[in-house]
Amino acid sequence: MAGSPTTTHCPYCSLQCGMTLTPREQGAGTVLEVTGARFPTNRGGLCEKGRSAAELLGHPDRLTTPLVRDVRDEPFRAATWDEALRRIADGLTVAQERHGPDAAGLFGGGGMTNEKAYQAGKFVRVALRSASVDYNGRFCMSSAAAAATKAFGVDRGMPFPLSDIARADTVLLVGSNPADVMPPAMRWFAAGRERGATHLVVDPRHTATAAAADVHLQPVPGTDLALANGLLHLAVKHRLVDTAYVAGRTTGWPAVKRALRQYWPDRVERITGVPVAVMERAVRLLAESRATMILSGRGAEQHAKGSDTALAWINLALALGLPGRPYSGWATMTGQGNGQGGREHGQKADQLPGYRMLADPAARAHVAGVWGVDPDELPQPGVSAYEMLDGLGTDGGVRALLVMASNVAVSAPRAAHVRERLRSLDFLAVSDLFLSETAELADVVLPTTQWAEEDGTMTNLEGRVLRRRRVTDAPEGVRSDLAVLADLARRLGRGEPFDDDPRAVFDELRRASAGGKADYAGITWERIEAEQGVFWPCRSEDDAGTPRLFRDAFPTPDGRARFHVVHHRDAAETPDDEYPYRLTTGRSRAHYQSGTQTRRTKALLDAEPEPAVDIHPDLAARLGVAEGGDLELRTRRARARMRARLTTTIRPDTVFAPFHWSGEQTINDLTNPALDPASRMPEFKVCAVALEAARTADPPSLRSPEREDPSG
């Protein structure tokens, strides 16, 4: 006997594909059958992760009772909710009494609903009166967000619907591999190719996305900025710049044009490894097309110069007259499920709801009025995600931390160092579905509801606000993060402004965002239901929302977009005699983020039971590494060991490893925490690495090499 089907959204990436969950009797129990729904982003399609998502709802590893430790490093024991929350409230209070208000903090996640992200930022600033809040989206979208804000006056990952990709005549993807990480999105690329569209890909690897493209530009990792400037130099040389658009809709072009003189084709080829002939072909395809899109991804942005790199590609888009034109423009492919909404409503260290800035007196006054507090009570901006983690347990740093929806013990750069900082805390509490690597280090662990057990809203990569619906009851003993934050606020004596009902929190979020750049004031749950989501900004219930931005003007003081002079600089680490190769990292098709969920999903683990390092056969031969053999990777921070996968899809001077595993395979132990000065994005995508064939008898070493990392 089947129950009634419920349409909701996938818990994984920012496509937020529509799916239908239908209860089916199976044996003595009931399971949820997952099928794709005809939502605008996926039109019924789902990837492997989406199809298997419901398996985790009844997983035997699921946390269903709070866990506490009586002594650090001793085993957990089950506890009541009252005891667990009391311990957290006491831990936060003691830290603040001893070390000041900023000694208590919260680290959030880009997978949390809009309501949870909003409540997290409010909790830290109102209940704790602390500046110490940030989230793992800082490791994902921050460089593109900083660049878009500088250039356009607003950050919405895609300023047009995903379906517009099918209508573009030419599409350039830079450091983005949707064929593996967002497979349902590829139907729009395929539809474009069926119309005769031309696709180009910039990536150091010949990915599945690059294999489907017409042109593949394969640069040295970390040189995307030089490539963008080189293409723009050629556009100027061949008189391909849209001078009328530049004059009428932008400012700052003369300075950029002068700076481009440094990027003559032969020099850019030497820097990037991309042949001049390939650059010439690419720029003509982009400039001579009726409708052109430039889509950026983490490969270009997760660098210590990531925001400048994004600006370089935006410069190219502006010079060609793309943003605001039909089926044209620059966009960035947001990664996490609520990566867009998660960064709009206050869990970033410098932001308030609606993309208001915490340092702005008018913004503080508006939001404080909604919260019912004095604006002077709100703290000033705190430090960014890695800076918070790097300072844990130190004088002036956070001493008591609450982590929600994030597994920083695996996902943070220089992760082994971050684990040490977590161990140094006076108090650590973690709210999660499973006992993640971060939760294993905690003093208190709280079991939280999963995606299908709660109501709320999400904002996908297009800026479309949509409904996540409760389909099934949570196991007995599990609570939502909204309830946790409201209860903790009450225990801290600040419970009056906090609600645990998601709809009530969303309505408050609407008021707090009203008048901001990310204005949700006109978005109601009823409208979302009726319209398959509503695009922000939506300033009143009579406002239709804004699927496409920049048609007539940009949200800057003069209505014009801004060019910015940006220059190539080397990666924070470049190969040398001791570390002669480059390591780059990213996602694999079967797994997601730190792997806490996907490594517990049978179908996904069967598809990819262990990680592998992609290495070119020529490099493998020089190292004496065979297919499937163990390869040891060593950087200035740590070592890791993985199986070698020989492939010609990678450059001979570079190796690629996925970041979804822990233990000896935690690739983020090796990555460089050098930070972008604007976005505070760590340099995940490139560092210098030494490689050698690992002898079977050698035990894997996670100890950091004696040589210290000069950046951190």
Q: What is the per-residue pLDDT for 512?
A: 98
Question: pLDDT tens-digit profile of 147-180?
Answer: 999 999 999 999 999 999 999 999 999 999 999 9
Alpha-carbon span 709 to 641, nearest angstrom = 20
Distances (CA, A) of 234 to 276, 287, 294, 328, 356: 10, 11, 17, 20, 38
Categorize the per-residue pLDDT at 28 as very low, low, confident or very high, splitting at 50, 70 and 90. Answer: low
Domains in the chain, CATH or no CATH each:
6-58 (2.20.25.90), 67-140+339-450+477-517 (3.40.50.740), 142-332 (3.40.228.10), 581-693 (2.40.40.20)
What mean pLDDT is reported for the chain? 93
Q: What is the pLDDT of residues 373-397, one digit of tens each?
A: 999 999 999 999 999 999 999 999 9
Percent of the chain with pLDDT over 70: 97
Confidence band, pLDDT 50/70/90 cuts, at residue 333: confident
Check if the beta carbon of residue 305 is closer than 8 Å to that of residue 676. yes
Per-residue pLDDT, 547: 97
Q: What is the 3-state secondary structure (H, E, C) of 139-154?
A: HCCHHHHHHHHHHHCC
**Both tokens assigned to 268:** 């850019």
How far apart CA 222 and CA 108 sit, in angstroms, is 28
pLDDT band at 31 (very low <50, low <70, confident <90, very high): confident
* Closest among 623, 620, 625, 632 to 701, alpha carbons compared: 632
- Tens of pLDDT, residue by residue over 433-478, are 999 999 999 999 999 999 999 999 999 999 999 999 999 999 999 9
Question: Could you tell me which of 268, 261, 173 has the C-alpha nearest to residue 223?
Answer: 268
| CA pair distance 289, 169, nearest whole angstrom | 6
Report the pLDDT value the prediction gives residue 665, as an integer from 0 to 100. 87
Structure-model confidence comparison of residues 261 and 588, the more confident one? 261
Q: Residue 2 — pLDDT band, cuts 50, 70, 90?
A: low
Sign of CA dihedral 44, 453, 4, 462: negative
Give the pLDDT confidence score for residue 704 in this predicted structure: 34
200 Cβ contact partners less than 8 Å away, ≥ 6 residues apart = 170, 171, 172, 173, 213, 214, 215, 216, 217, 282, 285, 286
The per-residue pLDDT for range 599-625, each reduced to its tens digit, is 888 998 888 889 999 999 999 999 999
Measure the CA–CA gap between 350 and 367, rounded to whole angstroms.
Answer: 14
Confidence of residue 706 (pLDDT cuts 50, 70, 90): very low
Secondary structure (3-state) at 266: helix
Question: Is residue 292 very low, low, confident or very high in pLDDT (cuts 50, 70, 90)?
Answer: very high
Alpha-carbon torsion (55, 57, 58, 64), positive or negative: positive
Task: Dihedral sign for Cα 639, 641, 646, 649, please.
Answer: negative
407 CB contacts (<8 Å, ≥6 apart)?
432, 436, 437, 438, 439, 593, 594, 596
For the chain, counts of helices (H) and of strands (E): 24, 30
pLDDT at 696: 62
Beta strands in 163-213 (DSSP E): 170-174, 198-202
pTM of this structure: 0.94
Residue 95 has pLDDT above 70, yes or no: yes
**Whole-number pLDDT of residue 702:** 35
Distance between CA 441 and CA 74 in Å, rounded? 10
CA-to-CA separations, 696 to 396, 630, 641, in angstroms, rounded? 45, 8, 11
Quote the tokens at residue 620: 């493998």
Are the C-beta atoms of residues 256 and 565 closer than 8 Å to each other? Answer: yes
pLDDT at 597: 86
CA dist., res. 237 & res. 436, Å (int): 54
- Identify the three-state secondary structure at position 574: coil
Q: What is the pLDDT of residue 656?
A: 95
> What is the residue whose two structure tokens read 């990531």?
306
Separation CA 466–CA 294 (nearest Å): 26
Indicate whether 539 pLDDT > 70.
Answer: yes
pLDDT tens sequence across 186-201? 999 999 999 999 999 9
